[in-house]
Amino acid sequence: MRILHAPENIGGMAGVLGQVQSRLGHEAVSYSFTSNHFKFSSDIILRKPGSFFERLYNALSFTVKFDVFQFYFGSSLMDLKDVHWLSILGKKIYFYFCGCDIRDEKTTIMKYPISACANCFPKLCSANRQLARKMAEKYGKVNFVSTPDLLEFVERSVLLPQVVDFDLINEIIKEPLPERNPEKFVIAHAPTNRLIKGTQYLIDCVKRLQNKGFDIDLLLIENMSHAEALRMYRCADLAVDQLLVGSYGLLSAELMALGVPTITYIREDLVDKYPKRPPLINANPFNLEDTIAYLYKNREELTTCQDAGLAYAYEIHHPVRLAIKCLEYYEQ
């Protein structure tokens, strides 16, 4: 099959899926409009970001070259204007939604007492979200979503768990563990978006625990490449990811693969939507302090999370498994 992953490389997933599908004998290419500071690699990147003519030229040449188009983050080669014509030409179209590109903030706020949407201001919802949903429901043979909380927002959607780059993970695991003070309890967190991740809840919680005499260091990981950030997490006893969304993100999957015990918030109605129950520590802003205090006093329990997390990540998030799952849908 001739497959194009475009036009965003969210979390590096498009690039990794393309690489693995190529290893499996297909002609798969990832294409991005722009690069980013996380240094996720795509096979093709616009030489002049924002160039309409370069985008149009690529769109025309890709239409001839590829048969399967997997579009990410509610976009396409030409701002969704090309989707209708790709369909007329008999191309197979798949959308992969990752969060704010399809999540309905009004529904989320009204239905769920804890949500990132209620804390997000100004709203980060994709401006073309309604159009993307319309295009996906009309033209998408299958609409993939990266987390189960998104299943309710788009028709014909199936969960395609986040793709973890195990080549990078295995490279990092082989490196010696960073030196650290065994007396310190280090909590790591990446505040890529403080409102959505609930970062302030964590900062306030740690301050309260420190005032009570808990010897805790909060390591905020930011302004570095993706690989550098993952290496920093290995310095921690415990990681805290997102506390508001209600399902775990790519970072939590990567941390499980690295064997880093991780707290994140998973809504009870979503737990059974996963292929298996995720071995993550489930906490939200209301019980976060008690959860961290318990783990601080019972650190031996974190070892169980490490082993279970690695096994789960390998089974659920390995790129070969997910690349094959995509291929099975392409063949339908």
Per-residue pLDDT tens digits for 275-310:
999 999 999 999 999 999 999 999 999 988 899 999
Q: Does some domain include residue 118?
A: no
Q: Does some domain include residue 294?
A: yes
What mean pLDDT comes out for the span 6-15?
93
Q: Are 156 and 171 contained in the same domain?
A: no
Q: 92-108: per-residue pLDDT in tens?
A: 999 999 998 999 888 99
CATH number at residue 25: 3.40.50.2000
Q: Are 136 and 192 contained in the same domain?
A: no
Determine what percent of the chain is predicted with pLDDT higher than 90. 81
Asked whether residue 36 carries a pLDDT value surpassing 70, the answer given is: no
Confidence class of residue 331 from pLDDT cuts 50, 70 and 90?
Answer: very high
Q: Are 239 and 180 contained in the same domain?
A: yes
Q: Does some domain include residue 329?
A: no
pTM of the model: 0.94
Q: Does some domain include residue 328?
A: no
Q: Are 155 and 257 contained in the same domain?
A: no
Sign of CA dihedral 256, 260, 261, 266: negative
- For 210, how many CA atoms within 13 A lie in the half-sphere containing its CB? 13
Q: What is the DSSP string of 164-181?
A: P-HHHHHHHHTSPPPP--
Q: Are 291 and 219 contained in the same domain?
A: yes
User: What is the model's pLDDT at position 284?
Assistant: 97
Give the span between the Cα atoms of 243 and 283, in whole angstroms.
7
Q: Is 94 exposed, middle or buried (0-12, 13-18, 19+ CB in 10 A)?
A: buried
Q: Is 256 exposed, middle or buried (0-12, 13-18, 19+ CB in 10 A)?
A: buried
Q: Does some domain include residue 214?
A: yes
| Overall domain count for the chain | 2
Does an H or E element contain 310, and which?
Answer: helix 302-317
Q: 174-220: per-residue pLDDT in tens?
A: 999 888 788 889 999 998 778 889 999 999 999 999 999 999 999 99
Asked whether residue 39 carries a pLDDT value surpassing 80, the answer given is: no
Q: Does some domain include residue 302?
A: yes
Domain containing 193 equals 166-317
Strand partners of residue 282 = 264
Q: Are 28 and 79 contained in the same domain?
A: yes
Q: Are 12 and 154 contained in the same domain?
A: yes
CB-based contacts of 328, cutoff 8 Å, min separation 6: none
Q: Does some domain include residue 43?
A: yes
Asked whether residue 122 carries a pLDDT value surpassing 60, the answer given is: no
Asked whether residue 112 carries a pLDDT value surpassing 60, the answer given is: yes
Q: Are 302 and 287 contained in the same domain?
A: yes
Tell me which of 103, 137, 160 is where a domain ends. 160
Q: Are 300 and 200 contained in the same domain?
A: yes
Instruction: Kindly state the DSSP code that residue 306 receives in the 8-state scheme.
Output: H
Q: Are 275 and 307 contained in the same domain?
A: yes
Give the span between the Cα atoms of 106 and 129, in whole angstroms.
13
Q: Are 254 and 175 contained in the same domain?
A: yes
Q: 48-58: per-residue pLDDT in tens?
A: 888 999 999 99
Q: Are 132 and 209 contained in the same domain?
A: no
Please indicate whether residue 116 or residue 17 has the higher confidence score (pLDDT).
17
Computed over every residue of the chain, the mean pLDDT equals 93
User: What is the model's pLDDT at position 135?
Assistant: 97
Q: Does some domain include residue 310?
A: yes
